[in-house]
A and B are shown apart, each in its own frame.
Chain A
């Protein structure tokens, strides 16, 4: 995984609550067996009509957001299906930070496995950020967001922060505890399936 660097970009406002992962990547695109190339399917049914024409009223189709790396959205983002394809699609499309008042649990944990930073902030701050037209800076190291007018701090679990900043392989970290896993297995009462 690439180490997470400072992100400077304008924000894309997606002013909706309860955005589910079926909207982020519709099911017809889950049949692929690789992780790459999901960006073109991001919000597919909101970006394109049934004849695959671009829907001009959807925010991602506004060219001023073409190079935006920061999505700012509503409560309970990423609810529903556990599909990690949702995170792969957001990343592949070009986003590297998502800001919302709250995230669904599985989506939230999927983000960190892919070097993608979800930031949860108070509803009022998120609403204000959605209005921000200038470039903002997200600095994970200092846990701050700098806008043209203010500096906002955010919380993150120290282990998750380290994984992102150093681009660590989560599994390699875990395998350092091999002795503890083996000890647990020797003492476990749970029978095998087979």
Chain B
């Protein structure tokens, strides 16, 4: 998955032997697509510079992003976006949907999920994300954000995570939580450990010594310590196993 989404890709052959996206073609598409993407607080427009190429400007509240259209065309080529109007339109929509999350959006719609805390994927921490269609960009607080504001956004995001409807599958001694549409939301099950344990108990599983096995973007598994160890110990995939009581002590990223 790139900032241009999956739909823009023309498949394996296009990725292996990409056809160059021409900046003039991208400009033509952008002029049609961008006005429809703007909103009351979202400014999306092309800035034409004399003697230089166009710049795509996205501004929303305190956040803004600029991208040179020629560089964007190169990035799309590298990501395997097909040089068709439809694919370029989808890629532009995806790029705008990946814009930074504003403080207001995080406060109004933020949801707490677990994400990798380090590049080595050895630890996890909480992060605030918002839903934008099929995407879930994360909120990055600006340096200097007041501690009270941070706490407010994070605590409301945690409460909101507890309301996300998840699918519970019981596989013998293992409870598996997943989200039917957005895999990243599976870990919202862990934002309200009390609710999670109650549902595990309702499913007939023992709640003594419950451990969780977390791989961000994948279903979350809950089981007794020995079962969780067996589950996670026999895969080459990265995961973190921890007792449920530690969930509320994990850091914010």
Do the two shown chains form a genuine complex with each other? Answer: no
